[in-house]
Amino acid sequence: MSRWILFLNLALAVGAAAPASADGDPDAGAEIFARHCATCHGLGGQGDGPMSVLLAVPVPDLTGFAEREGGTLPIARTVSIIEGDAVLRGHGSAMPVFGPITTGPSAVLDANDGSPVQTTQSVADLIAYLTALQR
């Protein structure tokens, strides 16, 4: 009996240490987007933010991201872009304005191929909002 209790305690401890699987909250993501992204991408994500006219490259319409990628928002790639791992021509490097949302509680999203993508809850929320924006 004591082995089962030890096993159960160990399983609970391992489960508590792992980040929770998250779908993200699109409402929280909308707030993050308004604070960090809308200046360039516009409130509706269509690339028409007030700073877009000052940039040397066109700001992409994020509402068509899934369409441009075969019909589904590419979760792993989108997380990589937000977290600054993907260098974008328009940014020249990581997106520094996203620094505050790349720290905090962990979350795990399912990539399009089913593999786990570890990120923060804030990024998961932003992904949920971007998913809702897709046409």
Q: Is residue 12 part of a domain?
A: no
Return the CATH number at 105: 1.10.760
Q: Is residue 92 part of a domain?
A: yes
Q: Is residue 7 part of a domain?
A: no
Report long-range pairs for 42-49 (Cβ below 8 Å, ≥24 apart). Answer: 44/133, 45/130, 45/133
Residue 21 contacts residue 106 (beta carbons within 8 Å):
no
Q: Is residue 9 part of a domain?
A: no
Name the residue with higher pLDDT: 16 or 101. 101
Q: Is residue 42 part of a domain?
A: yes
Domain boundaries, position 61: 20-133
Q: How many CB atoms lie within 10 A of CB 96?
A: 8
Q: Is residue 70 part of a domain?
A: yes
pLDDT band at 17 (very low <50, low <70, confident <90, very high): very low
Total tally of structural domains belonging to the chain: 1
Rounded average pLDDT over 45-59: 91
Inform me whether the pLDDT recorded for 58 exceeds 70. Answer: yes
Q: Is residue 64 part of a domain?
A: yes
